[in-house]
Structure formats: structure tokens, C-alpha cells
Structure 1
Amino acid sequence: MQRISSPDSGNIYLGNADLILSFNQQMFSSPTLNKVGLTPQAYCTFMPQNESTVNNLVTQTNYYNSTSGIIEDNLLIINLNGPTPSDSIVFGTRVAKIDSQISFHRLGRFMISGVNNTNGDPDLRWKTLGTGLKTKFFTLDSIAPFHSFPIELSTEKNTCPDYLEINDPTIPSGSYQVLLDLSVSGMINTPDMVTLRAGVSVELQPDFSIQTGGTLQIQIGGCQ
């Protein structure tokens, strides 16, 4: 996950955030999403503007304790209830700073329980596009009253790309969506259900087929 805006846009002072990911539901049975560990050590790496051993630890603890994870509408949802500094001292010692230097910043570690196929691909994908729930980050202004502003993001592996070609011999159950055009070949087995959603077109190749008892849904309307 990267910030789109240029470095001269200023530092990020992390406020609220919603992290939304899709995943391969076929790998799990009654999955749940939970934080790993009771303390932030080794899991949260955030640091405030005014670094010190105490300030770093308190900042990491606050951010780690202010996150929660659920699974809703077949999406992984991690919510961060960010800080609301009362003055410049609190801002400088309790708000995570992310500057223009390329670095690795970690909020925490999370686990999906209920795995039933250890050889499968969880296929985690950020959802930053489309309608409905999507990943959002907010930065705080560095001057009181510390207003909050959204951050533009990009990711190489998004749950809603512009185009997609599905050419699996057997198409796994699930929902596949794109902003523009979707092309599909392969077969839907019994009793699998596949939903194809595109903003412009869905093209079924000549070798596409559905076994008796399989289900295909096609929706034109873009990503959700």
C-alpha cells in the first residue's frame, strides 16, 4: 500500500483508518479475524514526531489497542480509531508520523482463523476502489485544531482492477469484479456459484460452460 500524492504534500500524521481486504473464502470454514498478541511489541512499529522510548511505546500501544477486526460481507475489515490530540504536546508525542522516506510501517498483526486448506492461496487483495466499503486512511493537520483529511492510496494487487481475464479450467465459487471489462473461460462445477460484475462488459469465451446445478450471475454496474 503506497501513498499516491507527492512527497511535498507533507508528512502523514495517522488518524482514523479502515483497512478492507478480500480473501479466498474457500480456504476457510466459519472464519474470524483477530489481532495477534495482547501488547504491541514486535507487532506495531509506529513512532511519533518526538521519538523517545516512552513516547514510542505509548504511541504503539494506543494505536494497537485502538484497532479491531471483523469479517463482514465476505471482506476482512480492520478499523483504526485514531488519536484526537488536545494540544501540540499530545500531537508530537502520541500521533504516528509517516514521512517521505521509503520505509515499512506496521499497524499490527492479524490472523484469520478457521483455515481448512493449508495448501491454498488466501489471495489477499486490498479494496481501494468501487462502491461500498473500501480502504481509507486519514491524516491529521499538524496545527490545532488538527483537522482530518483523506489520503490517496494505490496498491499493485487490488480487489477491483480495471480488467480481468479468468481462464481457470474450473472456476472457483466466489465473486469476481472489475471496473471495466471481464473475460471468462472455463467451467462452473456443481454446486458452485460464481458472480461476475463489471462496469462495461462481461465476455464469456466459447469454451465457457456451466454444469447442471452450477450457478452464474452477471451484473453490469462496476465494483461494489
Structure 2
Amino acid sequence: MAHVNQPPARGLRVGTWNVREGWKGEGDDTGTHDVVRLIQDLDLDVLALQEVPFHGGRSPMLESIAGQTPLRHVAGHVLSQAMHVPGSAGIALAARLPLEDVNRVILPNPELAANGLRSFDKGLMTARMPWQGRMIAVAGLHMVPFGRFGRRAEDPAFSHVWDRAGKEIERVMLPLTFVGGDFNTPRRDLLGLPLEPVHSTGRDAVLHSEGARAVTLKTVETFSDHPALVVEFALAWSRNHRAG
């Protein structure tokens, strides 16, 4: 298919999706084809992915996204062993235009355990991307599933985890900033950042700075236990805010 390297004549389309390591169920090894097809259909500009499968440091899923969708620019971050498929799992950012100043962070692991499960390392990625002659900041987050261990995300014992994530995002924030992720809680405020949540339910959300206005919100059910969340934004550019 033809790749689009220039911003389309519409608002910025931001998505987030936990792909559950591409695992579709017993007897199915990978949902890479389904991931690629959905991304093609949604016509995204930037996408935060969680539970991306990696093998030997490579991700065939990310390579397929880069080769078969308009999101030609991908960056991954391996975090832990995979639960459903062989290899490792992590997070990624995929974008229509080049990702600059990519930063990968492993968040503090609270070392939770319950019912034979333990908390794996979680993390975030931050980057900047040119858009319509300016720069925007983007981030992808995957937070610890506190509820799976019978704990609450807002427990003061976990404030250092949220504080670390918030400070890493704050460090790269621009007047137009977008954060997509699996928060594993409806509490979007725990990052302590001046970012507004697009109203959504459950664990997944896209946050944005006040210079952006959500125009449409689409939730797409997928093979994963998470839907894909896609938001189109109208952007209010500052006259003095230009790409440097």
C-alpha cells in the first residue's frame, strides 16, 4: 500500500491499544495480521501500544506495522517476559512521521504477588514528532495492574511509581502533548500532570494538553481483552510554537 508521509488534511488522530502480546487464544500464536489490518482501517497518526511481543530483541509485529501501514516510524521498549507467547513483551510508539528524542523508561516495580502471579516491569516511552510545521510531544504508558493483586492504584505506597511516570512525561511536555496508555485504573489524575483525559471507561485512555480539543472518540473491540481507543483532535497552535 502507499505510505503517507505528510500530515493529512484533518485533525491529529491518536490511538492506544494493549495488543495482549498478539495472543488470540488457545491454538493461535499471533494476531499480527489483525493488528496491521486494524491500523490500516483506523488511519492513525500516532499509536501507543502495550504488551507488544518481542523475540530476541526484534518485534515482527512492529516490523509489519512499519512495512504495511502508514505508521512507518516505530520504536519499541522491551520490559519483561511474555505471559502468553514465547519471548518478551513491552511497549511501543508507532507514528506517521519520524519520532525524535525517543526516551525509554522502566518504572519502579512494586514487587506485588498474589495467586501465583507477580508484578512484571512496566514502563513508558516519550518522544517528539513533527506535525504541520511544529513539534508535538507523545508518550505511551503501561502501568502496573494493581487491582489484579487486590490493591488500589491510588494507595500511597505506589505514589513513587506514578511520580516517576509523571516527571518523565513532564520533562518532555510541549504546548501540544498526548499520552496514550493502559493505566490499569480509571484514575487518570495520578500522574499529577495538567493533562485532560478524553472521557473513556476502564483501563485505557488518551490524555491531552489544553491546546487540543477532542473531536471524535472511537472504541473498537478487538481480539485482545482491551479495545483500541482512537481520538481525533483539533489543534490550537500557538503563533510562537514552531518546530525547532
Report the TM-score when normalising by structure 1. Answer: 0.27
Higher share of residues assigned helix: 2
Could you say which structure has the larger radius of gyration? 1
